[in-house]
Each structure stands twice: as C-alpha cells, then as structure tokens.
Structure 1
Amino acid sequence: MKPIRLTKHAQEQAIERGTNEAEIIDTIVTGNRQPAKNGRYKYQAIFQYNNDWQGQFYSVKKVVPIVTETDTELVVITVYTFYF
C-alpha cells in the first residue's frame, strides 16, 4: 500500500469531528472503499465508541476519510465522522 498523508485541513477536521490519524489510517487500510466525486475515494469503517460526543452518548462512530490518490501516495483531503 502507498504511504498515507493527511493534509492540514484533514488534520484540523479530524480534531473538530472527534477522530484521529490512527482511526483514519485504520479506516483506509481495513475499511470499505467507494468512488466519490472528482475521481476521489471515500473509505468507511465503524468503531466502537461507547462515549459522549457533544453532550450525547453514542455507542458507535463511523469514520469516513475522503482520499485522492497520486502515483506515490494516498492523500486524505478531509474526514467526516458520524455518531450512532
């Protein structure tokens, strides 16, 4: 697998949305890959969460990084997080 790099924007969004680089990389390595807009890919993985997020309890968290692929690396351009 190619090296994975997070843009500054993706790093900021990860913090803001309650995930981290380890979960993002795990999602890309083991998660479900699907085509996204503009030739990009979205990866999805579900993590046990069992914690509060913004004052509400959630048992699982879905991490969805949006990735563009170059000849030499996978570049995470943003990340979404969904709580259930």
Structure 2
Amino acid sequence: MSNTVDIYTRDYCGYCTRALRLLDSKGVRYTEHNASKDPSLRDVMIKRSGRQTFPQVFIGDFHVGGSDDLMTFERSGKLDAVLQGML
C-alpha cells in the first residue's frame, strides 16, 4: 500500500467538509483533489471508485468510500489501524 491519503471533493459539500475535518483532527496528511477547480477529476474519481458522489476517500489503494463510510470506519476503530499501517 502506498503511503498516501487521497480525497476527492467539491466546493460547498458538507460531506466533504465533514470528512476533511475528521482527517485534519487526526493529523492525517492527505492530497485533496477538488473537482470544482478541475472538473476532469470527477471522471478520475468515478473510474477509481465506481461512485459518483463526493467525497471519495482512498488510503493508499484501499477505497474507504464516502463521508459516511469514513465515519463508520472511524467509529469501529479501523481507521486508526489502516492509517498506522501507512507508517
């Protein structure tokens, strides 16, 4: 697994804001791919995730999913375990 966290977002997206806040609160370094600034990123996100909704979160090659999926991952304690595997 590569040591990257990628999040595909768009402007004015409450779910995107919620996901970014969680990652920020954990001190996670990530690359934000904002499709509002570069619409071609939406196609990249769809090809990579198979989903059309924002955000979409990847930890390395692992597709976490959207904001709700990320929050579920966090509540279950799995998020920290996956992030620790990146170190």
Q: Same fold (TM over 0.5)?
A: no
Question: Larger C-alpha radius of gyration, 1 or 2?
Answer: 1
Query: What's the TM-score once normalised by structure 1's chain length?
Result: 0.29
Structure showing the higher strand proportion among its residues: 1
